Structure 1
Amino acid sequence: MVASSRAPVAPAPTACTEAWLSALAGAALPTRRQEDWRFTDLSALQNLPQCLAAPATSCWDLETLPAGISRLSAEAAAAEQGRSLAATGCSEHWPVRLNAGADPALLALRVSGCADPLELLWQAGAGEGLRARRLLLVLEPGASLDLFLLITAAGPQALSLVIEVAMATDSRLNFGSLAIGKGGQATLLAHTAIRQASGSQLKLVNGSSGWALLRQEPRLVQTDGAAHACLRGLQLVDGEQVADTHSHVCFEGPAGSLDQLHKVVADDRGRSVFNGAVQVPRVAQQTNAAQLSRNLLLSDRARIDTKPELEIVADDVKCAHGATVSRLQREELFYLQSRGIAAAQAAALLKRGFCEEVLRELPATAARHRPLQSLLGEA
């Protein structure tokens, strides 16, 4: 296997950086003694230069708003901000507190009717220090939106992102994102907190690669039941990169449904962590929830820690979970080679097919960014 080409980073004094980050968050950095962080290597964050990037003059590189989308007033945004975080139980999570302490730029939007597709770009470029942003979305009853978010960064910097979404009755949200770290030095800490009312339909699709440290926490609560959520995740790790995902879905009413698939490709000494928690209390009868973690190991030195978990109290439910860790199948490689395809090309084709299952579910506006080629470093 090819060793990582990541350039060495000159570390800042770790103790000083920890104190600076702790001061911003108002709490000490997580440690491996905490269950949610015990597999997470925070060295990329601890080596972060101690500075806050200047606020962007044009938040999210957004010049105009599509039809059906408007900005929330300051009063409405203040009233709504924090509600989804509280409902999903992550208001006091360390990355959320760090985001609040880093003076994030806020974009607060209301969606009415069948809105035109929205594309948001956070192109941090090559920089140093910590950058923070927040996105607040409020979907009115019956509203519909396709949203694509592209995040790119390079250099010894950390991006902190908190997204809150409130979905009213019968609303629909197709939310896809690509997060691409270039050069293997940048860190991304992302929290997504979503409240779903009855009749709402959510599709949340995430693809990522190239981050020295990636920590994603999608958290969802179906407040009244009778809602549907489809979650798709794809992570590529290489070199000494760490991708850490902790998802949490809670059903607080009957007849809710979940379809979750999380996929990982790990090469060289890359490491992936997945912890998917699903809570089905007694009030959530007739819940239908399925969760699957599928992982592809391309190196003997790569590591994957996966733990899908269900907590079920209700007795009238259909719930399933599973996890697989495998290599490229010899039979499939042999079949392609027997058709005249070289071994390296055959392996690349199988890898692309593994990734496409998730990426094809991104919103249509993602196509111009060539998601597969971008994640594989071919674009």
Structure 2
Amino acid sequence: MNSLKTLTLLGSTGSIGRQTLDVVRHAEGCLKIHALGAGKNVRLMEEQARLFRPAVAVMMDETAARELRERLKDLPIKVDQGMEGIINSVTAEEVDTVVTALSGRVGLEPTLEAIKAGKTIALANKETLVAGGDLVMSSAQAMNCKILPVDSEHSAIFQCLEENPETIERIILTASGGPFFGWSKERLESVTLENALRHPNWEMGAKITIDSSTMMNKGLEVIEAHHLFNVAYDGIEVLIHPQSVVHSMVEYYDGSVLAQLGRPDMRLPIQYALSYPTRWKNPFERLDLRGKTLTFHEPDFEAFPALALAYQAGRRGGTLPAAMNAANEVAVSAFLQRKVSYLGIIDIVGEVCAEHKVLDSMDLDSILDADSWARHRAEELILT
């Protein structure tokens, strides 16, 4: 194993955060937590802080930070709050690697600050690249910072890349199809919140589970892949693979296709991002292909228009992907609160994208302005 790496983990109480801590626990002293950051789950943050003893624990929510401070007063752990606390945790001198597993666009600013501070980024927050991909990747290049993908699909592509990536002909992103694979648009009209939260293969947070069911998650991953691997949108294909065994593929100019296979267990891509460039042994369950049948299908763009919308937004570029992402976050939140129907999610996102006046300037202020406008407009549409 490599020498000790010191981490700041943002989004520690979410699904990816919890699985990251499981990787840390099994890494035989090769990973150390400097800081944990989360939204407002005080109970779980206290439990994690007591187990991993970070120097710093940050809550985005001020009330939650106050409660956590009281709960941890018997330990020498600094409790910080808000975006300022998050940014301080990622730029700390002791930190080597920042795991960005916050949900949504909120991950953009701390990722940029971590890059400016020269940290390695283990990226589990696809919205960061969707909203600000050009800015993030140019900043990382300027600082010579590594961005290591944690999403299972992008980790698979990363592992399949050879030393001459210019010979790539196309990237093939696989998608499970979610709980509604094969459903018609008419049948999707009857989808309930409970139906949409039942993913057949992966254990994920509520927002990403809904995104997976609408195929918006795959659309966001298409945009993320474009930025991470510098591949044109025409060179990125999506195939539905219900078994979730082949996590993605890369086809080269000579017709060779390299694929990465594994169990649907997020701890594997998380560990690879943290162990890179080496591989660590672990006790996780191994893939057994005996008796398995692997199938691949074309996506249904008519029943699941979110995927086509994401391709369109990515190709147009500028601030449109940021607006699309923001509208989707608001619409999914409304669906989770039973304020809009399932098909209403993409209706709202599509309307916001159609109305958005795209700016091609990709500075942070332009991205945040587009994000703010799109959230406000989506909220208006929800109320009508």
Q: After TM superposition, is the score higher than 0.5? A: no
TM-score, normalized by length of structure 2? 0.29
Higher helix content, 1 or 2? 2
Instruction: Give the number of the structure whose residues are more often strand, by fraction.
Output: 1
